[in-house]
Structure 1
Amino acid sequence: MKISRRHAASAAIAALGLLSLAPRAQANDAASYPTKPITIVYPYASGGASDTLARQVADVISKSLGQPVIVDPKPGAGGSTALEMVTRAPADGYTLVLSASGTMAVNPHIYNLKYKPVEDLAPITILAEIPFTVVINSSFPAQNLKEFIAYAKANPGKVSFANAGIGTQAHLTQVMFMKAAGITANIVPYKGGVPASTDLLGGHVDAMIDNAAAQVANVQAGKVRALFVTTQERSASLPRVPTADEAGLPGFVTSGWFGLAAPRGTSQAIIDKLNAVIVKGMSQPEMRRKMIEAGWMPLGDSPSDATTRARGDLARFGALVQQIELKKE
């Protein structure tokens, strides 16, 4: 069947018209969004430091957009259960997930996932960066990092060194630290940071690597001794704890982060709207104070910067997992 030039031209004009309507439709969706409650799926069990962060951000969004924001815990598989659920949710801005460097950049190398986090989720922002810290039992015979390294070298493999689980970002950071310090230790993996911390406080293990936010209260109460933080600068919530550089381990810098993401395909207009209200809310002095006191380093970057960070970390941790030959579960 032949198509006349006139019909072809009309079809092309109609197609262009439909394309021009798409951005307008997205803008209209964002203008009315949200019209019902929003859910933030939380990938872990309730009660942790990041649970507080998720609820703080939910409060910011709710107050800014005038709809309830529900935090719904869905723990399992190191956070992967929740992320997979959100990748299958409608891409309409009403189902979001608390993302993290662990779930976005580490888990794909550890678990046989049915999805690809960086490709199947659309980052909205990185909410906060968080240093890791090495903490030791208050009775351990070392007062600082140099003494800890000296003790570990003099007693190879005898220091019991806990983490939140094999393949977690804490574990990978632990391996990086031991390599940088030139020490060997008896790595003791737990099913989560809370039981590991409980055993550290009880004197059942000598040391632990953990995110700094989870150890702020213990350090401040003198229950554990923090040797250093892994970020370039000191943590405002632990101002007396040195960086690795200051403690005698130059160049050892790494950190974790928590963010917010939506299913891939969510309109850019909605993502930008969420980003704007979150960044504005996090910049308020009271919100920043609460986050800093809890051990977080407030960030609030753009969707494109958050995506770049996630992709970069995915490659970086992939190389480390290969190096230490971790097998997928």
Structure 2
Amino acid sequence: MTIQRRTFVLNAAVSLCTGPLATAALAAGPGYPGKPITIVYPYAAGGASDAMTRQIADIIAKALGQPVIVDAKPGAGGSMALQQVARASADGHTLVLTASGTMAVNPYLYDLKYKPVEDLAAITILVDIPFVVVTKPDFPARNLKEFIAHAKANPGKISFANAGVGTQAHLTQMMFMKEAGISANVIPYKGGTGAIADLLGGHIDAMIDNAAAQVPNVQAGKVRALFVTTQERSESLPGVPTAQEAGLPAFVTSGWFGLAAPKGTPQTIIDRLHTVIAQGMAQPETRKKLLAAGWMPIGSSPAEAAARARSDLARFGQIARQIELKKD
């Protein structure tokens, strides 16, 4: 079995008969799930978000008594996967990992044949994603204030990478530079892997990335973290200040990963999935693993998840227009 398709087969009988998930597993009545559930993963297999998705698959499988398959379908910034699920049967057996990027940024980057917010039914926001700005260890600026001062003294000269044009990292980078009043040599990569490799090799000065991807590098001293973008510090990077603490009091933002189903999926199924996921994520061991990996567990309600997607769609649309983002 390849890494793209891995089935989580667990002892369903024990899980359904006892424990806090048992009630939720019966909430939507008999018959669901009637077969294995697939979570379509919109990126290449491997990496932090893939591992997180498999944790969620594990939670669902334990609670509902069916295997849960994580199926990687990368392409067009995640749009291919969301399009597939938007067109799937609305029976709760096909789900998709969503993100602030795929739901709120991609509509301004691609000519989509579907509307993410309208054609998918939100189940929950799984985790918040703190972004972090990191530099190579020998970069002359050792903190945010020094970074801003260095950028102002050397306009357009800092090589400042992101994971790709139109990604949320890119738009967050633009928000940061506007708030700080600086310019830089912004370098978009085709994914974060190449940018990280060049940063570790000393070929670029800095990059913005999701904190989960940078935790090992920060902890090993391979990069210097200047700040995280969230309201509170990341528990996986407790020594890294927030932007507010470091000198930009108005700069707060984060990404997120969520889970959704095709539009028209019965609300009883949506609610059932939300309940088992939220309860599973609240378990101390699961929460500990998510926090250690750099994620901030949320488990929001379907209504809250839908509202956040709509809000981000409007917010990032404003930024996309400001930087004149062009559609592919």
1:228 is aligned to 227
* Unmatched runs of 5 consecutive residues or more in structure 2: 1-25
Which consecutive aligned stretches of 4+ in structure 1 deviate over 4 angstroms post-superposition? Answer: 27-30
1:193 is aligned to 192
Matched residue type, 2:70: V
Q: Does 1:323 align with 2:322?
A: yes
* Unmatched runs of 5 consecutive residues or more in structure 1: 1-26
Residue 323 of structure 1: how far off its partner (Å): 1.1
1:48 is aligned to 47
1:273 is aligned to 272
Distance (Å, rounded) in 1 between the aligned partners of 2:42 and 2:245: 34
Judging by fraction of residues, say which structure has more helix: 1
- TM-score calculated relative to the size of structure 2: 0.91
2:75 is aligned to 76
Q: How does 1:106-255 map to 2 (within 5 A)?
A: 106-255=105-254
3-state SS of paired residue (1:31) = coil
Question: Does structure 2 conserve the Cα–Cα contact (< 8 Å) formed by 1:30 and 1:273?
Answer: no
Distance (Å, rounded) in 2 between the aligned partners of 1:73 and 1:30: 30
Question: Does structure 1 conserve the Cα–Cα contact (< 8 Å) formed by 2:27 and 2:272?
Answer: no
- TM-score calculated relative to the size of structure 1: 0.91
Distance (Å, rounded) in 2 between the aligned partners of 1:306 and 1:48: 24
Matched residue type, 2:307: T
3-state SS of paired residue (1:289) = helix
3-state SS of paired residue (1:122) = strand
Stretch moving more, 27-36 or 106-115: 27-36
Matched residue type, 1:292: L
Q: Does 1:98 align with 2:69?
A: no
Identity rate of aligned residues, in percent? 74
Residue 31 of structure 1: how far off its partner (Å): 2.9
1:240-269, CA deviations, whole angstroms, 9 ceiling, x for partnerless residues?
Answer: 000001111111000000000000000000
Question: Does structure 2 conserve the Cα–Cα contact (< 8 Å) formed by 1:30 and 1:270?
Answer: no
Question: Does structure 2 conserve the Cα–Cα contact (< 8 Å) formed by 1:89 and 1:95?
Answer: yes
CA-atom RMSD in angstroms: 1.1
Question: Does structure 2 conserve the Cα–Cα contact (< 8 Å) formed by 1:165 and 1:190?
Answer: yes
Distance (Å, rounded) in 2 between the aligned partners of 1:30 and 1:229: 43
2:5 is aligned to none
**Bigger Rg, which one:** 1
Matched residue type, 1:100: A
2:35 is aligned to 36
Distance (Å, rounded) in 1 between the aligned partners of 2:283 and 2:171: 34
Distance (Å, rounded) in 2 between the aligned partners of 1:248 and 1:127: 29
